[in-house]
Structure 1
Amino acid sequence: MLNFLGLYVLGRSTAVYSGSVIDVFARVDASEEAVRSTLTRMVSRGLLSRQRQGRRVYFGLTARATEVLEDGARRIWDTGAVNRDWDGTWTLVGYSLPDSRRSDRHDLRSQLIWAGFGLLQNGLWIAPGQRDVIALVEPLGLTDHVTAFTAAAAKPTESADLVHRAFDIAGIREQYKAFLDRWDTARPLPTAPDDLARRLLLHTDWLQAIRRDPHLPAEHLPKDWPAIRAEQLFRRLDEDIRPEATRLAEEVLDEIPLAPSQTTHLPTDG
């Protein structure tokens, strides 16, 4: 759903009719019930607003969702698959939260992983380069529970050892290999009904690959690291199928101008 919203709603200041979203997701075998449940859940999490026009209910992005999707777009299009500009420093983050705040711990860990941190040892997370820790913890209200600093490895610690201790290199490699196995064919995903479905699945698979990739220093990765080839393939396929996918989206999606003030909780019928 986040991929769909990022591709076809982000930046448009529109709200989309739930029925047309259901039509799009039927192309990838997602049930109407699952789509409606996801939309409702995203409203409750403050990611979508609802507004009604006649008997139809439309969903638009909130400011929070826009931030999330813009961050995802930067990760997909700007960051790149390989870090060739590492300055030798690491950002280290430690935190202490009681068992009663298990949900906060889960949210913080999720944010750290998305931001490229790996667990070095109990309670200590590291990421290559300088990371904006405030941007991670402030929205969660956890600033007072986190300690952060930047440092460089000193003997007897080697940066290459940190890479392999804190990050699942084999698992990251397998994510890229799985992407290549599925998409690096003469006719990618022939079972998809059209390019609208194919592009949605392409972006979903690619995001699954890069969300586990902490953008590690190229000098500490194997020479046959598959991320570069996978990224080149993703960009080429997206360029090939984007025009038809966009045309189909314009044909299928029923949109109205977004009304920012209409964020009341309405039933998701229609």
Structure 2
Amino acid sequence: MTDLAVPEAEEGVGAETPRPQALLLAFLGGHVLDRGIHVATASVLDVLDRAGISEHATRSTLSRMARRGLLHRVRRGRNVYIGLTDRSRAILHDGERRMWRDGVVDRQWDGTWTLLGFSMPESWQRQRHALRSRLLWAGFGGLQGGLWIAPGDVDVPPLLDGLGADEHVKVFQARALPPTDLAEIIREAWDVERLAERYRAFLARWEDPPAHAPDSLARDLLLESGWLQTIRADPRLPREHLPADWPAEPAQERFFALSAEIKPAARAIAAEVLDTITDAEAED
């Protein structure tokens, strides 16, 4: 888990314009992760250009991610190739789980909550920001008095990895007892209507394929990055405590259906246009 667990996105409901990092993570997750390859920077520039990202923006994002230990770069002849590191693999596997396996609501909730409170020195601004980002990604919402809450049993230690903040954090598991109003708890901890608006915006945007996407590879990256941005702050709340017309599951069904339709052609284009070397060749 790292500070980049939550991909960057434009502010505002729907996050309609993915930033370069969001698209790059979608590309790496779909076409590099678990394939044992490095891909030429020129290929990455070509692919993100298809999705509307300028060469300058892509190069800046690649450099920033490399400085943070998220990309391995190697030169072979006149070409520079990039591959994944252990840190970026962990991020991408986490995103893959959220996108394809977890589901957008919890239909098997057992009634437990994970409660977390933290108090850090004023000088620890970076650590506080990183922890808050990780808590949001892990499904926590701020309740009151510095108390964060998430449905179910959350594995907290990985959220603290690398922060040196263990002694500043207290974690409990609990169940709500009368007279606690769970619907009120959920409304206080999460902006449920804003979450719903994100899903409605995704449904509206993907009613038809984006007109500016020139091919299936670009559409696939826009689809996956848009979906990840939509779900990034969703805590997967218990279905029994959500409105009957909750739009998350219809949005998920559309994402799965469109992905199944687009991905074969996207992979065919990627196989044709990507210049790659094996990880073994990159280490020679």
| Paired AA for residue 129 in structure 1 | G
Amino acid at match of 2:32: V
Aligned residue among 144, 164, 169 for 2:187: 164
Candidates 237, 251, 263, aligned match of 1:216 = 237
Is the Cα–Cα contact under 8 Å of residues 22 and 35 in structure 1 kept in the other structure? yes
Contact 1:51 1:259 in 2 (8 A): no
Deviation for aligned residue 1:98: 1.4
Partner of 1:253: 274
- Residue 66 (1) aligns with residue 92 (2): no
1:34–1:75 Cα change, 3 Å: same
> Percent of aligned positions with the same letter in both sequences?
53
- Structure 2: state its 5+ residue gaps: 1-23
Equivalences for residues 15-54 of structure 1 within 5 A? 15-54=38-77
Give the C-alpha shift of residue 156 in structure 1: 2.5
2:108 maps to a residue whose letter is D
Deviation at 1:194, TM superposition (A): 0.3
Q: Distance in 1 between matches of 2:240 and 2:183?
A: 9
C-alpha displacement of 1:46: 1.0
Q: Note closer, same or farther for the CA distance 1:163–1:51 as it changes in structure 2 (3 Å cut).
A: same
CA contact (8 A) 2:38 2:282 kept: no
TM-score (norm. length: structure 1): 0.93
Matching residue of 2:98: 75
> Which of 206, 222, 235 is residue 201 of structure 1 equivalent to?
222
Aligned partner of 1:126 in structure 2 is 149
Over the aligned positions, Cα root-mean-square deviation in angstroms equals 1.3
How does the TM-score come out when normalised to structure 2? 0.89
Shift of 1:261: 8.3
Structure 2 residue 155 is the aligned partner of structure 1 residue 116 = no
Residue of structure 2 equivalent to 1:140: 163
Matching residue of 1:86: 109
The alignment partner of 2:161 has SS state of helix
Structure 1 segments (4+ residues) deviating >4 Å? 259-262
Q: Give the C-alpha shift of residue 184 in structure 1.
A: 2.0
Q: CA deviation at 1:189?
A: 1.5
Q: Secondary structure at the match of 1:165?
A: helix
> For 1:128 and 1:134, how far apart are their aligned partners in 2?
17
Residues 228-243 of structure 1 mapped to structure 2, 5 A cutoff: 228-243=249-264
The one-letter amino acid of 1:36's match is R
Name the count of aligned residue pairs: 260
Q: CA deviation at 1:52?
A: 1.0
